[in-house]
Amino acid sequence: MALYPAVLIGGPPNSGKSVLSYNLTQRLRERGVPHYVLRAAPDGEGDWVCEARESLVRTILVPQDWTHAFVEHVCESLMHRPLPLLVDVGGRPTPWQECIFDYCTHAVILTRDEAGRAAWLDLIKRHTPILLADLRSDLHGVSRVDATTPVLEGVIAGLVWHRQVSGPVFEALLERITRIFDYDADELRRSHLSAAPVETAIDLARLARTLDVPFTGDKAVWEPQHLPALLAYLPEAAPLGLYGRGPNWVYAAVALLAYPEPFYQFDARLGWVAPPDLDLEAPPAGALLRAHLEAREDHTHLAFAIAKAHLDYTEANGLVASPVPAGRGVVISGKLPLWLYTALALAYAPRVPWVAVYQPRLHDRAVVVGSRAPGVAAGDVLRSPPPEPKV
Domain for residue 45, yes or no?
A: yes
Q: How far apart, in whole angstroms, are the C-alpha atoms of residue 117 and residue 36?
A: 26
* The amino acid at 332: I
Residue, of 139 and 84, whose pLDDT is higher: 84
Do 260 and 335 have their domain in common? yes
Domain for residue 319, yes or no?
A: yes
Q: How far apart, in whole angstroms, are the C-alpha atoms of residue 272 and residue 195?
A: 8
* The amino acid at 78: L
Do 124 and 229 have their domain in common? no
Q: What is the pLDDT of residue 332?
A: 97
Do 207 and 277 have their domain in common? yes
- What's the chain's average pLDDT? 89
pLDDT tens-digit series, residues 257-285: 999 999 999 998 888 999 999 999 999 98
What is the side-by-side strand order in the sheet with 299-306? 289-295, 299-306, 329-333, 354-358, 365-371, 381-383
For 308, phi and psi rounded to 5 degrees?
A: -160, 180
Across the range 25-48, mean pLDDT stands at 78
Among 148, 180, 212, identify where a domain stops: 180
Domain for residue 188, yes or no?
A: no
Do 308 and 277 have their domain in common? yes
Across the range 62-66, mean pLDDT stands at 58
Do 205 and 302 have their domain in common? yes
Q: Which domain holds residue 130?
A: 6-180
Q: What is the pLDDT of residue 154?
A: 96
For residue 187, with 0-12 CB atoms within 10 Å meaning exposed, 13-18 middle and 19 or more buried, which class applies?
exposed
pLDDT tens-digit series, residues 85-129: 999 987 778 888 889 999 999 999 999 999 999 999 999 999 989
Q: How many domains does the chain have?
A: 2
Pair 34, 84: CB distance under 8 Å: yes
Helix, strand, coil tally for the chain in percent (to 5)? 35, 25, 40
CATH number at residue 130: 3.40.50.300
Do 208 and 356 have their domain in common? yes
Domain for residue 1, yes or no?
A: no
Do 316 and 168 have their domain in common? no
Instruction: Output the 3-class SS for 2-59.
Output: CCCCEEEEECCCCCCHHHHHHHHHHHHHHCCCCCEEEEECCCCCCHHHHHCCHHHHHH
Do 160 and 220 have their domain in common? no
Q: How far apart, in whole angstroms, are the C-alpha atoms of residue 376 and residue 137?
A: 50
Q: How far apart, in whole angstroms, are the C-alpha atoms of residue 66 and residue 31?
A: 34
Do 90 and 14 have their domain in common? yes
pLDDT tens-digit series, residues 288-334: 999 999 999 999 999 999 887 678 888 888 899 999 998 999 999 99
Domain for residue 390, yes or no?
A: no
Do 61 and 128 have their domain in common? yes
Domain for residue 388, yes or no?
A: no
Do 125 and 213 have their domain in common? no
Q: How far apart, in whole angstroms, are the C-alpha atoms of residue 85 and residue 224?
A: 30
Query: What residues does 201 pair with on adjacent strands?
Result: 241
Domain for residue 190, yes or no?
A: no
pLDDT tens-digit series, residues 340-354: 999 999 999 999 999
Pair 370, 347: CB distance under 8 Å: no
Neighbours of 211 (CB within 10 A): 14
Q: How far apart, in whole angstroms, are the C-alpha atoms of residue 250 and residue 252?
A: 6
Among 180, 211, 240, identify where a domain stops: 180
Q: What is the pLDDT of residue 64?
A: 54
Domain for residue 192, yes or no?
A: no
Among 114, 147, 180, identify where a domain stops: 180
- Identify the sign of the CA torsion 144, 146, 152, 156: negative
Neighbours of 365 (CB within 10 A): 16
Peptide bond into 284 cis (omega under 30): no
* The amino acid at 207: L
Q: How far apart, in whole angstroms, are the C-alpha atoms of residue 142 and residue 167?
A: 9
* Residue 47 scores a pLDDT above 60: no
pLDDT tens-digit series, residues 202-221: 999 999 999 999 998 778 99
The pTM of this model reads 0.78
Do 156 and 30 have their domain in common? yes
